[in-house]
Amino acid sequence: MKKAPTVFMGDGINDAPALTAATVGIAFGEFSNVTAEAASAVIMENTFNKVDELFHLSLKTRKIVLQSALGGMGLSIIGMCFAALGYIPPVTGAIVQEFIDIIAIMNALRLTWERNIKIDLPLYGV
């Protein structure tokens, strides 16, 4: 029987089994090392805004990783086709491949440059 994907959030030792069993376990890690070890992610602030921020960051990370991987592979395949047809000598091909790698890495580094992460939840109590 296939189980549905689940998210469980907890902050105490008694939550550790549920955090482990869930598809994604999110621990509020200020209190227990056991909870933090059982979880997939640890949030140090006990607010739902941080959980929302985690979801947005995860989606953006996946998008950028796919862009970097597929873009890098696509550019490499184009470069290999030019090399196979004799338009690019081997040494130039190696240098072009290094530039392709740098482009993919710089694209992945976009996550570190962005300071504001989107939050959908209303800010209560602020």
pTM for this one? 0.70
Give the CA-trace dihedral at 57, 63, 68, 69, to 10 degrees: 120
Q: What is the mean pLDDT of residues 3-7?
A: 81
- Asked whether residue 23 carries a pLDDT value surpassing 60, the answer given is yes
Q: Cα(97)–Cα(88) distance, rounded to whole angstroms?
A: 11
Highest mean pLDDT pick, 1-15, 81-95, 111-125? 81-95
Residues near 32 by beta carbon (within 8 Å), at least 6 away in sequence: 11, 12, 13, 16
